[in-house]
Structure 1
Amino acid sequence: MARTRSAEPRRPDLRAARAKLPERLGTAVDAFERHLAAERGLSAHTVRGYIGDIVSLLGHLAGSADDATLAALDISVLREWLSAQHAHGVSRATLARRTASARTFTGWAFRAELLPVDPGPRLSVPSKQRKLPAVLRVDQAGSAMQASAVGAEQGDPVALRDHAVLELLYATGIRVAELCGLDVDDVDRERRLVRVIGKGDKERAVPFGVPADQALGRWLSAGRPILARESSGAALFLGVRGGRLDPRAVRRTVHDAVGVVSGAPDVGPHGLRHSAATHLLEGGADLRSVQELLGHATLATTQLYTHVTVERLKAIHDRTHPRS
């Protein structure tokens, strides 16, 4: 089944919107961007998300008065901005994210003495609808791995890479950005551990099993040398032109592999992450260990997977118990 896109309106080009800001507001955006990247160590993708939200907010502020300054950013402006977003059909989940971005920005601006008071704590976060993530069953995940293995048996370097990517994603539950950031030296095949740099530059070691190790071995010996160029550097996974593998290529790989499995939900790399966590819990892993493996900052995030497991158990009970 084809995915349906959100009805949320397309955002204007960030660069163009940023250029329209008055210089005094644009300077604040530049400083906030440096803070996010250098002091908080956030990824380029996360920083871009924050900056897009703040450019939208400050664009709204600039439109409220010709001589608007950052000091005029108060609770009423924040609420007017969110109200306008809601009126244009922005989802509750996106509103919650933009609210969090605004609160992060006003907190930073207050500490930097760019705001006389911090209005952020007075801004309530819209409640999000809690949706359980789509996950593969164990047999469906196995079928997806097997489908990619068939292609790899032909010896094509891209097929070898894709099979290793799928096996490692499912074996470890790491994020797609973490996978694409791996270097060859991050993999310890003797101990079957991979060193991952996660959100906030936090490092963790994640184990992987024999199938992933075998797929990695074939990729490193027979696939990577063919795609590698002098400019490839130390990247573990390479694109067809020899550069570091792009997350978009990983998403296509996962969708293609899962797409051939009958009855499987349409999941991407994050769906494999959800599936890995769910299968670990169903297999008896404790919640704290799964939290460490996934690199979650709080246990509350990991607890979402317990709901997935409970829903599965209820479904099995309904199908099989004589008095269900």
Structure 2
Amino acid sequence: MSTRHPDSGTPEIGPEQLQVLEDYLGYLLYQRGRSENTVRAYESDLRSLLGYLAGRSAAGLDQVRIEHLRGWLGHLQDAGLGRTSMARKISAAKNFFAWTLREKLLDEDPALRLQAPKKERRLPQVLQPSQVERLLRDIKIPQPVARAESGGAADLPSEREAAVAVRNQVIGEILYASGLRISELVTLDVADVDFERRALRVLGKGNKERMVPFGLPAQRALQLWLDHARPVLATDASDRALLLGVRGGRLNVRQARDVIAKALHKLGDTAASGPHALRHTVATHLLDGGADLRAVQEFLGHSSLATTQLYTHVSVDRLRQSYRQAHPRA
């Protein structure tokens, strides 16, 4: 993990600060079990902070004061940074300086009184059941491609293209059936599929393992994939990975996200733009169907019930139904 590439135009961070940053990132990765994506985000935020401090005569961490940190936030705000991004950077700074205090690298925490802006509470984009049906129907259709030898005319899909279409169907079915995060989906191995119990063994945030159920449509798609389509794409690089890319290696987050993003774009009647929309959708549909809030929390792998409660605000239909049933003057 490199921290030796300062942003263009940013004052160079001193070697002592770089070493502290390197140690902290190692702590996040190896002791706290944070994902590589999370650690990279922390590195970016903290490099921004340390670069700013280096240009304000506060390169030494023991010289940093709350005024320097507020100046950094003002600099970010002037650059047009959004409220959510600001809150993330403040969180990164507070966690970093709290760690330096615990490690006795500092005598006091300059970020202790640093306040994060209130996050905007946005309701997630949720698909209607009819939209989900269309998405899952269209995502499994192989796309014919133009071939040079046929003069540019569209041929029938090849065996590999048909296999990719089955894989895409599995991506859509699992995301909607089980509400997985996209990072959880791509880390699944073949052995994580329990057909007998119709469940997936999922390793979520903080390395917490949970069993998540899936339905008959997802089971059929998985069986078709494992029995017929996966062997078409599999190579020596496939190892135990459940989902594969076109070259046979484990499917990565970007590739899986592109599959869903394209499918959502093709729908044409939704503002939803990424795979998290399916996670939002399944949570809302479960609650609409009467599922217990804590059961949905466990299903999604949320550490806090407050995160799950957001979905109770999504469905106006569910609110109206409860109102009609419970209110004496409805």
TM-score normalised to the size of structure 2? 0.87
Matched residues in 1 for 2:141 and 2:81: separation? 43
Matched residues in 2 for 1:215 and 1:302: separation? 28
Matched residues in 2 for 1:125 and 1:87: separation? 16
Q: CA RMSD in A?
A: 2.2
Equivalent residue number for residue 104 of structure 1: 95
Matches within 5 A, 1:1-324: 15-17=5-7, 20-65=12-57, 68-151=59-142, 156-309=162-315, 311-313=316-318
Matched residues in 1 for 2:244 and 2:106: separation? 46
List gaps (5 residues or longer) in structure 1: 1-12, 318-323
Equivalent residue number for residue 146 of structure 2: none
User: SS where residue 139 of structure 2 aligns?
Assistant: helix
Matched residues in 2 for 1:61 and 1:19: separation? 9
Matched residues in 1 for 2:117 and 2:250: separation? 38
Q: How many residue pairs align between the two structures? A: 304
Matched residues in 1 for 2:65 and 2:11: separation? 23
User: SS where residue 136 of structure 2 aligns?
Assistant: helix
Matched residues in 2 for 1:60 and 1:315: separation? 51
Judge conservation of contact 2:13–2:59 (CA < 8 Å) in 1: no
Greater helix fraction, Structure 1 or Structure 2:
1
Matched residues in 1 for 2:30 and 2:46: separation? 18
Q: Which entry has the higher C-alpha Rg, 1 or 2?
A: 2
Judge conservation of contact 1:14–1:52 (CA < 8 Å) in 2: no
User: SS where residue 126 of structure 2 aligns?
Assistant: coil
User: SS where residue 196 of structure 2 aligns?
Assistant: coil
Matched residues in 2 for 1:252 and 1:14: separation? 31
| 1:242-295 superposed Cα distances (whole Å, 9 cap, x missing partner) | 111011111121122223335233331111110011111101111111111111
Shift of residue 14, structure 1, vs aligned partner: 8.3
Pair 90,262 (structure 1): closer, same or farther in 2 beyond 3 Å: closer
Judge conservation of contact 1:143–1:261 (CA < 8 Å) in 2: yes
| 1:131-181 superposed Cα distances (whole Å, 9 cap, x missing partner) | 1111101111111111123439x7611001000010001101110001011
Matched residues in 2 for 1:247 and 1:167: separation? 16
TM-score normalised to the size of structure 1? 0.88
Pair 286,14 (structure 1): closer, same or farther in 2 beyond 3 Å: farther
List gaps (5 residues or longer) in structure 2: 144-156, 323-329
Shift of residue 300, structure 1, vs aligned partner: 0.7
Pair 78,162 (structure 1): closer, same or farther in 2 beyond 3 Å: same
Shift of residue 312, structure 1, vs aligned partner: 4.6
Judge conservation of contact 2:11–2:54 (CA < 8 Å) in 1: no
Matched residues in 2 for 1:27 and 1:106: separation? 14
Greater CA deviation, 103-112 or 253-262?
253-262
Which residue type is aligned with residue 197 of structure 1?
L
Shift of residue 186, structure 1, vs aligned partner: 0.8
Matched residues in 1 for 2:319 and 2:235: separation? 52
Judge conservation of contact 2:11–2:55 (CA < 8 Å) in 1: no
Matched residues in 1 for 2:317 and 2:252: separation? 33
Matched residues in 2 for 1:69 and 1:40: separation? 26
User: SS where residue 5 of structure 2 aligns?
Assistant: helix
Judge conservation of contact 2:101–2:108 (CA < 8 Å) in 1: yes
Judge conservation of contact 1:277–1:290 (CA < 8 Å) in 2: yes
